Amino acid sequence: MCCSDGMVYYSPGVTGKTISTVGAGDSMIAGFIAGMEKTGDYIRALHLGTVCGCASSFSFGLADAQRIQEFTGIVPLPSALKL
């Protein structure tokens, strides 16, 4: 993700058996927006977005709060590079 602060942020996903990717992108964006609202920090917001997207990919339907919490410790934190 390229941002106006001159940084490029990268968040790796996790490997595993995907159940369904339907709604995973929406979950990712919702998690990112919630993270920005809560923290105002790109790295934390991108991490929450990635967690939500991954949790939904490995769930039947959209991930619930418990499933998202499980993935919080599994998904690595994003890294940042200066352009």
Per-residue pLDDT of the chain (83 residues; tens, 9 = 90+): 898 888 999 999 899 999 999 999 999 999 999 999 999 999 999 999 999 999 999 999 999 999 999 999 999 999 999 88
Paired with 9 in beta bridges are 80
CB 47 within 8 A of CB 63: no
Residue the block writes with tokens 């490997």: 15
pLDDT reported for residue 64: 95
Residue 21 domain-assigned (yes or no): yes
Residue 83 domain-assigned (yes or no): no
Residue 58 domain-assigned (yes or no): yes
Residue 9 domain-assigned (yes or no): no
Residue 7 domain-assigned (yes or no): no
Residue 8 domain-assigned (yes or no): no
pLDDT reported for residue 4: 85
Amino acid at site 30? A
Domain count, the chain: 1
Residue 22 domain-assigned (yes or no): yes
pLDDT reported for residue 83: 80
| Residue span of the structural domain in which 31 resides | 17-77
pLDDT reported for residue 5: 84
Residue 53, SS3 per DSSP: helix
